[in-house]
């Protein structure tokens, strides 16, 4: 399937609790949101920023990007994407088969990873898609801020958890990483357009409430999430300290 039928959306809020104004943070002369936008455009023809803030809207217009304004009431990037999809289809006079939700705080997001998720929709039966990364060190395995994924033999997500899963019975926890291939979740999502509209109508899920992971709502309601594997390490900027580390790393 041509990527012309896939819409790349970058949800962007100004009011981050840990890092207010994060999308406009300067990274080597370019804003965070511009860097994400330009990386995404390397792979997808149709890319929009979806925001609820006029400062972000103005910044995107100023660097020549495309942007749509969305409600301030959305609880997740998925909800914002659903509203943005309708608006972009009206603007572009196009009907998109699938939507990719691009994280707005990964300024060096890999076009190859975007392509991996986009390719999942070459199969028209794919409902949802995401990426996993093999875990190579125990710190990641037991880090609750890095969700883990169990994957089926046919590359479908069976479950997501902040806990290490599966539990390796009878083996010391220090050895788990050497006895089984565990996976971290990479938060890049793809949705078939009709499925995106469906999942945003679902009630808040019990599993989602327990783990604070919205993708569990989809699994709990019987949707299938296609999974592809990537070994690339994403650089995510969650706090001003993260940004400072990046600026001192010499990557820019």
Stretch 131-159: mean pLDDT, rounded?
94
Q: Does domain 1-109 have CATH number 3.90.550.10?
A: yes
User: Residue 212: left if φ>0, alpha if ψ -120 to 50, beta else—which one?
Assistant: left
The confidence band for 183, taking pLDDT boundaries of 50, 70 and 90, is very high
The Cα–Cα gap between 39 and 96 comes to 20
Eight-class DSSP state of 233? P
CATH superfamily of 123-185+194-233: Spore Coat Polysaccharide Biosynthesis Protein SpsA; Chain A (3.90.550.10)
Q: Is the pLDDT of residue 54 over 80?
A: yes
Q: Over the chain, what is the mean pLDDT?
A: 94
Residue 138 has pLDDT above 70, yes or no: yes
In eight-state DSSP terms, residue 160 is E
Strand, coil or helix: what is 185? strand
Quote the tokens at residue 64: 């020549």
Q: Where in the sequence of the chain do the CATH 3.90.550.10 domains occur?
A: 1-109, 123-185+194-233
- What's the pTM? 0.94
**What is the distance between the alpha carbons of residues 90 and 208, in angstroms, rounded to a whole number?**
32
Mean pLDDT within 62-68: 98
Asked whether residue 171 carries a pLDDT value surpassing 60, the answer given is: yes
Q: Given this model, what pLDDT does residue 9 score?
A: 98
User: Three-class SS of residue 132?
Assistant: strand
| Inter-axis angle of helices 111-119 and 32-41, nearest 10 | 50
Query: What is the mean predicted confidence (pLDDT) over 93-122?
Result: 96
Q: Can you give the pLDDT at residue 3?
A: 64
């Amino acid at each position: 399937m041509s990527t012309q039928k896939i819409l790349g959306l970058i949800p962007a809020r100004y009011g981050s609790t840990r890092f207010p104004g994060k999308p406009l943070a300067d990274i080597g002369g370019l804003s965070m949101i511009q860097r994400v936008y330009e990386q995404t455009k390397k792979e997808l023809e149709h890319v929009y920023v979806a925001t609820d803030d006029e400062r972000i809207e103005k910044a995107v217009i100023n660097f020549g990007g495309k942007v749509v304004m969305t409600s301030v009431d959305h609880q997740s990037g998925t909800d914002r994407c659903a509203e943005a999809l309708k608006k972009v289809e009206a603007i572009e006079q196009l009907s998109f088969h699938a939507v990719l939700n691009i994280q707005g705080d990964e300024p060096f997001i890999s076009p190859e990873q975007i392509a991996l998720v986009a390719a999942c929709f070459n199969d028209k039966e794919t409902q949802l898609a995401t990426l996993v990364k093999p875990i190579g060190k125990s710190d990641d395995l037991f880090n609750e801020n890095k969700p883990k994924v169990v994957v089926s033999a046919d590359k479908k997500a069976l479950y997501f958890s902040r806990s290490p899963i599966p539990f390796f019975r009878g083996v010391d926890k220090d050895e788990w990483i050497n006895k089984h291939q565990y996976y971290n979740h990479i938060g890049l999502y793809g949705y078939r357009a009709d499925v995106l509209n469906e999942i945003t109508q679902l009630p808040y899920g019990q599993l989602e409430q327990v783990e604070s992971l919205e993708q569990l709502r989809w699994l709990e309601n019987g949707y299938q999430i296609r999974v592809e594997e990537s070994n690339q390490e994403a650089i995510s900027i969650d706090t001003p300290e993260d940004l400072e580390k990046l600026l001192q790393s010499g990557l820019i």
